[in-house]
A and B are shown apart, each in its own frame.
Chain A
Amino acid sequence: MSPTQTDTNTLASIDEVEAGTGARLMKNLRSSTPALIMLLVLVALFVAALLRSGSMAITGQALLTGIVTGGVYSLLAMGLTLIFGVLDIVNFAHGAFLTVGLFVTYQVVESTGWNPYFALPIAIAALFIIGMAVQFFLLHRTMGGGLESQLLITLGLSLLIANVLLMIFRGDPLSVNLTSDPGVNILGAVVSRSHIIAFVGALILAGVVYLVLDRTPFGRAIRAVAASSQGAGLVGINVRTVYAVTFGLGAACAGAAGMLIAPFTTITPTAGDQFNILAFVVVVMGGLGNVMGALIGGLIVGLVEQLGGVALVGQSPLLGVFLLFLLILLIRPQGLFGGKSS
């Protein structure tokens, strides 16, 4: 990959970094102590889980489950980081977007009887449109303004979405059923096929988003706006459209993640809340605005959640994730894979 490509390859905001391509990332990984610390944390967690449970089978299972759920976090977080990198908005409605993906899937299955996976393009399209509309009509007016107005609007939006869903579908837990969901044995640990599909699907979609950003003219326009919206405007890019499409794309990632986890998740109007928190951890870990960082951060958070759940018996698995979150914020607020420190 040529150096020029490397430089234009990311979504990080101006004063943040421009690491991002695979090559650059690997270099970062090798040279950066935080990544090493991260690895040590994971190894320590693994050992702790092993000692605590006294069983390789349980720990191995946690490892596998961690990686598989982590893939979905990656996709979800990619949408969030994309929105932050380009629009500088911390989207607190991201978990709610995932919930909409869940309910779209439920509604499609309910009214057509199709296999839930047919709902994937529908969920993506629906969330893309919703995301575009939200940015175009609500958030655009606050662009460049204070943190609190955007935060409150996305917060209000997440409350709105959850409660509109509550009004329509009521609060009872729902589910979409697969005709068969056999367990798949991987090196002694077992995960269901729907988990594997979610993992692979999430990685493929994340790859597609990455390629769109990296290789297409529109991706270049998005990156240009991320680097400097004024400059991009001056060279004839329609910044408002780019903002809307980017937000749509970010929301679509959340919608796709929602559809992919629908077959093994309890569908309630507040199901997305917990994912909201996880996505933030992933995004902060990978460096706000860093798409590749979100991908790797997702896997790490999945692992920390699962291994932490085994190591800290009786505590919520999320506790380990939060401790990690604070740790990262403190050692490296620009993110583990954020490149140079600011």
Chain B
Amino acid sequence: MTTNLLTRMSPKSPVGADGSRNLTRPLIYLGVFVVVAAFAPYVLPESRQAVAVNVLIIAMMGIGWNLMSGYGGMFSFGHAAFFGIGAYTDAYLIVHYNISPWISLFIGAAIAALVAMVIGYVAFRYKLRAAYFALATFAFAEMLRLLATNTDWLNGTAGLHVPLLTEDSWSMLQFGANAPQYFYIGLALLVVCILITMFYLRSRSGIYTVAIRDNEEAADSLGVNVMRVKLTTMGVSAAITALAGVFYTQYYIFIDPDIAFGNAQSVQAITPAVIGGIATIAGPIVGALIIGPLNELTADWGRTPPEFLDFLAGRSGLDVVVYSILLIIIVLVLPKGIVGSIRHWWRQR
């Protein structure tokens, strides 16, 4: 009964939206997406393989952020913390104990979830909301960055290198630089993240999460254990983000405090969801499909500028300038994001 009440109470709920709890359609869309995406390594020239993998990583981070901040309404500005925990767990375990990344995926996700729950517990106990919550998560990620910078067993500022193997290895998740295996493993991980999100949102906890976002007092008065639901959502979100971190370390075989815990990484988690559409499953993926190639394109321009930008030859910064201008424009013009705007337009029709 409670479930039904909450479902109706929340018009934005993923369940209540079309009145069905049917997963068939989203799963068909997901299947189509996977089939189309699977061709990417064949279609793309070898030099662009890295872009495709990058898109997968950004999409995973966006999905993680979106669950907590989009569906859960807990605006995180420190998702780098969870990404970094995943990245460093993998690097540390492989460098010191030669533990397979497949195991690190679980360990990293578990540690990140635990840390997220601790942060969440303290933050919600003291009723930090909106800007305060965002600033607290921001400060937490920065603290981890400073700690990693000053921690000897994490090799400080120098960072950690994943030891290079001489040949491809599935068990150690290591292949030649542009091997398509990376793309398929990343795609599989992305699908896992999407499925986790889809099923979580349809679970009791997930439905409560959206209900709490829309009206915490009402959910509380209906007997929802607000704290427990919020913590669970944060935990799942952090775990997904940590998976992206583990995979990142394996692909780039290097991690340092700035890459792992830097502010840029937190932004990288927020932007795909915002550009694609907050609180939509497809949003972060669409966002990542735009950001990934955009990063690449602008970096290209920076290295070898097109004719009209010739005067910039040899100067860095152009890539980020273009990136940030586009970011601002999209936020201003499409406040609901691309998927959100299309959906809005579709319903208005």
Most chain B beta carbons < 10 A, residue from A152, A281, A316, A318? A152
Check B142 against A322 for contact (C-beta < 8 Å): yes
With A148-B270, A153-B332 known as contacts, the answer to whether A167 contacts B126 (CB < 8 A) is no
Residues of B with C-beta under 8 A to A333: 126-128, 132
With A147-B130, A319-B146 known as contacts, the answer to whether A138 contacts B321 (CB < 8 A) is no
**Chain A binder among B160-168, B175-183, B311-319:** B311-319
Chain A nearest CB: distance from B78 CB in Å?
Answer: 12
Residue-wise, chain B 161-202 has the 8 Å CB interface mask toward A (1 for contact) of 000000000000000000000000000000000000000000
Number of A positions contacting B (CB below 8 A): 46
Query: A204 within 8 Å of B by Cβ?
Result: no
Query: B335 within 8 Å of A by Cβ?
Result: yes
Interface hits, B310-349 → A, CB 8 Å? 312, 315-321, 323-325, 327-328, 331-332, 335
Query: A208 within 8 Å of B by Cβ?
Result: no
Residues of B with C-beta under 8 A to A319: 143, 146-147, 150
Query: B248 within 8 Å of A by Cβ?
Result: no
Residues of A with C-beta under 8 A to B140: 326
Total A-B pairs, Cβ < 8 A: 127
Chain A nearest CB: distance from B144 CB in Å?
Answer: 10
Check A151 against B150 for contact (C-beta < 8 Å): no
Residue-wise, chain B 125-156 has the 8 Å CB interface mask toward A (1 for contact) of 01110111011101110110011011000000
Check B315 against A156 for contact (C-beta < 8 Å): no
The CA of A319 and the CA of B335, in the complex, are separated in Å by 36
Query: B114 within 8 Å of A by Cβ?
Result: no
With A167-B315, A171-B316, A329-B135 known as contacts, the answer to whether A152 contacts B150 (CB < 8 A) is no
The CA of A159 and the CA of B328, in the complex, are separated in Å by 11
With A163-B317, A315-B150 known as contacts, the answer to whether A149 contacts B335 (CB < 8 A) is yes
Check A330 against B122 for contact (C-beta < 8 Å): yes
Interface hits, B99-125 → A, CB 8 Å? 122-123
Check A315 against B146 for contact (C-beta < 8 Å): yes
Check B267 against A155 for contact (C-beta < 8 Å): yes
Chain A nearest CB: distance from B94 CB in Å?
Answer: 27
The CA of A333 and the CA of B278, in the complex, are separated in Å by 27
